[in-house]
Amino acid sequence: MSNTQTCRLCLQEKKLIKAHIIPEGFFRLLRSENVAPEMHGNSPGSFPKRMPVGIYDSTILCGECDQRIAPWDDYGQQVLLQRFQEATPITHQARTVAWSLEEVNYTNLKLFFVSLLWRASISSHNFYKRISAGPFEKRLGEMVLASEPGDSQEFAVILARFEDVSMTGMLDPHPEKFDHISFYRFYLSGFVTYIKVDKRPVPEFLSELHLQAGKPLTILTRSLQGSPDGLLMRRIAESALAFRERRKGKIPGQW
């Protein structure tokens, strides 16, 4: 094997580094809680059940390109692992259905998810084998290279958090459909993110819940799985919307 390989971002022949795809902080958190990430075995025997350290790929990025992506990785970890504690619960019939986090930088957070999906798509690591953006992969690479987050519908991002702490294991990312629209699901410690890989807009029931510039970030309290009709999600969306209206002072006195 030669000493240099082609970096998938700058396309130059360079010495490639050990690039993390899901940032290490999400694994570190699990380790500090003494919960080793679960490996989801599609091919039994090819992987240990639990991974003691983060997963990296040494065939995709040079050091310079990895450093271009690093600030978005830092921002994603900052928002989900640290700033989440400041999030305001959104309640519906006395239950927390979502959280709202103000002042989130759309560009940085979106580029974290765009670069995460791109890296997972180009990686040949077994952990990411179910992620393949196909015809969308080229566009993802261009967005990463140009630091271009795209509009909120392009690779739209929806976030959820498991209520059950025992569900914080790190399963391998995989495809999923809601109302026939294609998404990829990633597990990030106690969070789940759904990234749309589809030309069509997000389903109606999710239209107020995805990451949008200039709006607070909404994090659902549960995964979307098991809610195929979207009924629960519609209620959450309505509650989230009503919550925002109250915050703006349009409906005073109804906290």
Give residues in contact with Zn ion (CB under 5 A).
7, 9-10, 62, 65
62 or 101, CB closer to Zn ion? 62
The least CB distance from residue 54 to Zn ion, in Å, is 20
CB-based burial label for 117 (10 Å; 0-12, 13-18, 19+): buried
Our CA angle for 119, 107, 236, nearest 5°, is: 95
SS3 194: strand
The least CB distance from residue 116 to Zn ion, in Å, is 17
94 or 146, CB closer to Zn ion? 146
Per residue, the 3-state secondary structure of 22-37, as one string, reads CCHHHHHHHHHCCCCC
10 or 167, CB closer to Zn ion? 10
The least CB distance from residue 114 to Zn ion, in Å, is 17
The encoded tokens of residue 208 equal: 């107020």
**Residue type for 21, please?**
I
For residues 23 and 189, the answer to whether their CB atoms sit within 8 Å is no
Distance between the two ends of the chain, CA-based, in angstroms? 64
The least CB distance from residue 63 to Zn ion, in Å, is 8
141 or 149, CB closer to Zn ion? 141
Close Cβ partners of 225 (under 8 Å, ≥ 6 residues apart): 176
64 or 102, CB closer to Zn ion? 64
The least CB distance from residue 61 to Zn ion, in Å, is 6
Query: What CA–CA distances, in Å, run from 160 to 21, 44, 122, 170, 224?
Result: 20, 29, 25, 14, 8
Rounded distance between C-alpha atoms, residue 144 and residue 229, angstroms = 34
13 or 204, CB closer to Zn ion? 13
The least CB distance from residue 224 to Zn ion, in Å, is 35
